[in-house]
Amino acid sequence: MRIDIISVVPQLLESPFSHSILKRAEAKNLLHVNLINLRDYSINKHGQVDDYQFGGGAGMVMMCEPLANAIDDLTQKNGKYDEIIYMTPDGLCFNQKAANRLSLKENLLIICGHYKGIDERIRQQYVTMEISIGDYVLSGGELAAAVVVDAVGRLIPGVLNDETSALFDSFQDNLLAPPVYTRPADFRGGKVPDVLLQGNPKNVDEWRHEQSLQRTKQRRPDLLEGEL
Ligand code: ADE
């Protein structure tokens, strides 16, 4: 999978993709993340990519031309994108289902907004999907893009060492994950449940499923709506 990310502060995204699972995904040639500095497409030698908003009001708006030129150029070089995603708090709320769906794509472009956001006409003319990572406002779309790339990247087959492990993540089947334990078996009086120490796979599976259900009922009953 190829993911291109357009940003005015691409440096913000260098670290998240240079470590751990996503670094391994790059090394295995399963995922390529490319950072594009929008200023490379600015309209003048001052590197301008934003301007005052029509109608007045505080805050700058990211201009059409640099974004359109960047998207056109990238599309010409890399082929048509499966989705052109704009990170914005007024987008659709990101969840595991969306991550699963995006992990099946080959070629994604993500636009990170800054300031007041991007000119509406870019949303109308280019953007195919708008994603929010939650009901709060970040100072830019970069950290939100990093969240999406992480959640999607780890679902690409072969990225995780133990291929089955993503299957048991929270949300994968609308259930939260069960509790997990490692050594020691007794930590300051806190005991690991016997069923896990005994290690009978069928009993362990049943126990984990039961714990997942209980935890979901307690913490996120909304996930079970329509499921029971
Ligand atoms: N940009 C600013 N806030 C955001 C959010 N909550 N989700 C996605 N992009 C954003």
Task: Report which of residues 22 and 193 the model is more confident about.
Answer: 193
Q: Is residue 165 part of a domain?
A: no
Q: What's the DSSP call for residue 55?
A: T
Per-residue model confidence as pLDDT tens digits over 94-131: 999 999 999 999 999 999 998 899 999 999 999 999 99
Atom of ligand 1 nearest to the CA of 131: 8
- If one counts the domains in the chain, the total is 2
Statement to judge: residues 70 and 129 lie in one domain: yes
d(CA 210, CA 80): 45
Q: Is residue 160 part of a domain?
A: no
pLDDT at 226: 65
Q: Which residues line ligand 1 (CB under 6 A)?
A: 87-89, 113, 132-134, 136-138, 141, 144
Q: Is residue 163 part of a domain?
A: no
Largest CA distance in the chain: 69
Per-residue model confidence as pLDDT tens digits over 188-203: 999 999 999 999 999 9
d(CA 217, CA 71): 44
Per-residue model confidence as pLDDT tens digits over 145-175: 999 999 999 999 999 886 567 777 878 789 9
d(CA 225, CA 218): 13
pLDDT at 115: 80
Q: Residue 129 in 3-state DSSP?
A: strand
